[in-house]
């Protein structure tokens, strides 16, 4: 029983990390039909900011990571995605792929490709006793941060004017513009939000793994992409659910598979994904605005 | 006379591209061994780009999964052509049939391509039903699955250890032969009815569907042919390096091959070939500068790794300012006067 709760805590915290990542990708896809590979580099650059600011007070480090995440998100939007706003989704996809590799290779050029250790907030690795079950403090923090961000994002989308405009833009961008929604502002806001989500994921992942390396973001994002696809591209609840399921699935497989095939767990997750898509090609929660009208 | 000229016009891009590739190999054969090896590698990349083009160019769906087919080709051919003695040392747990196999290199290459194509058929079946961008992301999943499986299936692939001791038979002429074959396959395929229907769906999915085009079927055909050519490219890469490492068939190679196709122009075979050639030349120049370039009295040296940054930047600039690449989605034009009719 205790072991089961332990696995469940693992699954929940990893699932939340993927849900946050998938949500950042889903936000951007919603407003501009862009699958943003460069979301991974937002995570990576935030993590390297933590490394650069290491030793300074905690609020400075967190603010720095957040600022870099947001600034980089806005900069990539301005430089690489705004000029292509009317291009087809495949062109946008290629552009984000190029941006992602440009940033990643730039980082390798500047700081090298080796792993770097970063002992960020080691106190969170401690175990705490919660009604008889020993849990890692970090797992509780991860789930709590994810819930706060999810609730905050939902509040923003439901209760603010800009949030309403963003939902409108996700449903029908052209119509939203006709009704007076400022495209640049809505898209920039979406990118800033994805920067915040990326910075949060970055801090949590650095605490968990204790290392940074230039490819860390891309690895997360590839898995999260698959989450957004099975959740239903363009649907935010779908992205969160899909990301969460992929994370939970990989942890459960890790725990339940016999040891000699455990290393293949990602392969099983992806095969599961292919099966889901076979029966629901539009994803688990299809987006309203994207339903094909053919 | 007129029909003959029309045929020649139609076949012109094929012969022009073959001429360019043969010329490159001929020139390279007079250069020092180092440059010959670079040319061989460049030709292998060209085959990989042509393989990617067969699917991406005709369907309009970007694939990140073709490097997985390269890996399949490389491993299959390596296991079939390695000496049984070597296999019993490196891979003692290999199934008996594979452990005793000692195929000729040509048979191994065909088997590599065939198994890659078969895999393409099996995974393409569900994935080709997805619409454009979702399908692209799903092809990324193929890459990850292949990486995980090859990296951990220790009994057959050696896992994280490299697979060594495969015959390193690939030189400029072998690569040239396969490059010619790849270009011919890609050209003949794109002249077929199936490819024409697929390109119609690329231009306007709704119209093609309304006209009765079975998009899923034609995409699958393109995907399987593409997987075969990519598989052969992987076979050649493995036997060129003489070593198969799972790391060399992952993100970096995917980036290189995709960048070549995008820079050259994903809409035409000319674009695929142009991208591979231009980037090979550019990479070689940058490599020279990274070592140090004597210019008058000053020595220009740039830090290692700059080449990758520049490649990514060029790709970004191309997609921003010339989204159809160098070739602009067109094949080489007939140079001998305008159409007489």
Condensed to tens digits (0 to 9), the pLDDT of residues A131-159 reads 777 788 898 899 999 999 999 999 999 99
In chain B, residues with a C-beta closer than 8 Å to the C-beta of A83 are: 320
Pairwise CB contact (< 8 Å): B144 & A270: yes
Question: What average pLDDT does the segment A222-248 reach?
Answer: 88
Q: What is the mean pLDDT of chain A?
A: 89
Pairwise CB contact (< 8 Å): B145 & A91: no
pLDDT class of A289 with cuts at 50, 70, 90:
low
Question: What average pLDDT does the segment A42-60 reach?
Answer: 94
The pair of three-digit structure tokens given for residue A13, joined into one six-digit string: 């915290």
Q: What is the mean pLDDT of chain B?
A: 90
B156 touches A at CB < 8 Å: no
Provide the shortest C-alpha distance from residue A117 to chain B (in Å).
Answer: 22
The answer to whether A190 touches A31, Cβ cutoff 8 Å, is yes
The pair of three-digit structure tokens given for residue B136, joined into one six-digit string: 């692209």
pLDDT class of A293 with cuts at 50, 70, 90:
very low
pLDDT class of A84 with cuts at 50, 70, 90:
very high
Domains of chain B: 2-249 (1.10.3470)
- What are the boundaries of each domain within chain A? 2-214
| % residues pLDDT > 90 (chain B) | 66
| Mutate which: A270, A287, A293, vs B, most B CBs within 10 A | A270
Tens-place pLDDT, residues A14-32: 999 999 999 999 999 988 8
Pairwise CB contact (< 8 Å): B323 & A98: no
Question: What average pLDDT does the segment B87-104 reach?
Answer: 84
The residue among A198, A136, A206, A146 whose CA lies nearest residue A16 is A146
Neighbours of B155 (CB within 10 A): 11
In chain A, residues with a C-beta closer than 8 Å to the C-beta of B65 are: none
Output the pLDDT for position B26. Answer: 95
Question: What average pLDDT does the segment B169-186 reach?
Answer: 96
The pair of three-digit structure tokens given for residue B272, joined into one six-digit string: 């695929």
> Chain A residues within 8 A (CB-CB) of chain B?
33, 35, 80, 83-84, 87, 89-91, 93-95, 97-99, 101-102, 105-106, 108-109, 215, 218, 222-223, 225-226, 228-229, 233, 263-264, 266-267, 270-271, 273-275, 277-278, 281, 292, 294
Question: What average pLDDT does the segment B93-107 reach?
Answer: 87
Q: What is the phi-psi region of residue B219: left when phi exceeds 0, alpha when psi lies from -120 to 50, beta otherwise?
A: alpha
What are the angstrom distances between the C-alpha of B61 and each of A152, A256, B54, B134, B271?
36, 36, 11, 9, 16
CA-nearest residue of chain A to B141? A270
Q: Which of B132, B148, B320 sits opposite A267 (nearest CB)?
A: B148
Question: What average pLDDT does the segment A174-203 reach?
Answer: 94
Rounded Cα distance between A75 and A82, Å, is 10
Output the pLDDT for position B3. Answer: 67
B320 touches A at CB < 8 Å: yes
Residue A250 has pLDDT above 90, yes or no: no
Question: What average pLDDT does the segment B332-336 reach?
Answer: 83
Q: What is the ipTM metric for this complex?
A: 0.90
Output the pLDDT for position A294. Answer: 43
Q: Please write down the HEC assignment for all residues of A149-210.
A: HHHHHHHHHHHCHHHHHHHHHHHCHHHHHHCCCCHHHHHHHHHHHHHHHHHHHHHHHHHHHC
Residue B341 has pLDDT above 60, yes or no: no
Provide the shortest C-alpha distance from residue A282 to chain B (in Å).
Answer: 8
B292 touches A at CB < 8 Å: no
Residue A290 has pLDDT above 80, yes or no: no
């Amino acid at each position: 029983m205790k072991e089961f709760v332990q696995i469940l805590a693992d699954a929940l915290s990893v699932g939340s990390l993927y849900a946050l990542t998938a949500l950042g990708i889903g936000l951007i896809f919603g407003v501009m039909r862009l699958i943003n590979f460069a979301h991974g580099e937002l995570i990576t650059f935030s993590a390297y900011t933590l490394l650069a600011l290491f030793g300074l007070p905690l609020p400075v480090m967190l603010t720095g990571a957040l600022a870099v995440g947001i600034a980089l998100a806005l900069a990539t939007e301005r430089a690489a995605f705004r000029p292509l706003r009317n291009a087809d989704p495949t062109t946008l996809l290629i552009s984000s792929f190029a941006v992602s590799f440009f940033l990643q290779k730039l980082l390798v050029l500047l700081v090298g490709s080796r792993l770097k250790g970063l002992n960020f907030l080691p106190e969170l690795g401690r175990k705490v006793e919660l009604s008889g079950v020993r849990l890692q403090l970090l797992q509780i923090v991860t789930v709590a941060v994810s819930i706060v961000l999810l609730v905050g994002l939902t509040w923003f989308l439901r209760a603010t004017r800009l949030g309403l405009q963003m939902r409108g833009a996700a449903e029908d961008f052209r119509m939203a513009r006709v009704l007076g929604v400022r495209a640049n502002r809505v898209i920039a806001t979406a990118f800033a939000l994805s920067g915040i989500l990326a910075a949060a994921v970055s801090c949590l992942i650095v605490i968990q793994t204790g290392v940074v390396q230039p490819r860390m973001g891309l690895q997360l994002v590839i898995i999260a992409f698959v989450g957004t696809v099975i959740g239903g591209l363009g649907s935010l609840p779908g992205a969160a659910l899909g990301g969460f399921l992929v994370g939970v699935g990989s942890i459960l497989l890790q725990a339940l598979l016999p040891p000699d095939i455990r290393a293949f767990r990602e392969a099983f997750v992806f095969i599961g994904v292919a099966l889901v898509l076979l029966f629901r090609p539009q994803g688990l929660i299809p987006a309203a605005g994207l339903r094909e009208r053919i | 006379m007129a029909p003959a000229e029309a045929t020649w016009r139609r076949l012109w891009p094929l012969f022009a591209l073959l001429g360019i590739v043969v010329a490159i190999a001929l020139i390279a054969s007079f250069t020092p061994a180092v440059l010959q090896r670079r040319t061989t590698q460049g030709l292998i990349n060209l085959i990989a780009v042509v393989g990617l083009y067969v699917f991406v160019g005709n369907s309009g769906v970007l694939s990140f999964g073709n490097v997985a087919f390269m890996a399949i080709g490389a491993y299959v051919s390596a296991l079939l052509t390695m000496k049984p003695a070597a296999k019993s040392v490196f891979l003692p747990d290999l199934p008996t049939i594979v452990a005793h196999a000692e195929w000729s290199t040509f048979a191994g290459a065909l088997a590599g391509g065939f198994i890659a194509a078969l895999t393409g058929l099996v995974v393409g079946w569900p994935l080709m039903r997805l619409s454009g961008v979702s399908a692209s992301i799903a092809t990324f999943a193929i890459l990850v699955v292949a990486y995980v499986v090859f990296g951990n299936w220790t009994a057959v692939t050696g896992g994280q250890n490299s697979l060594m001791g495969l015959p390193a038979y690939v030189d400029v002429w072998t690569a040239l032969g396969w490059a010619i074959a790849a270009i011919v396959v890609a050209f003949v395929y794109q002249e077929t009815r199936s490819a024409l229907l697929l390109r119609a769906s690329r231009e306007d999915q709704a119209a093609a569907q309304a006209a009765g085009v079975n998009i899923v079927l034609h995409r699958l055909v393109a995907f399987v042919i593409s997987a075969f050519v990519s598989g052969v490219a992987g076979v050649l890469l493995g036997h060129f390096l003489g070593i198969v490492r799972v790391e060399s068939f992952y993100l970096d190679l995917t980036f290189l091959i995709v960048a070549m196709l995008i820079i050259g122009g994903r809409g035409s075979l000319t674009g695929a070939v142009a991208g591979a050639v231009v980037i090979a030349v550019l990479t070689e120049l940058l490599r020279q500068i990274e070592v140090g370039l004597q210019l008058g009295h000053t020595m220009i040296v740039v830090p290692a790794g700059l080449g990758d940054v520049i490649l990514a930047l060029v790709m970004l600039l191309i997609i921003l300012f010339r989204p159809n690449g160098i070739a602009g989605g067109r094949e080489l034009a007939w140079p001998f006067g305008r159409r007489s009719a």
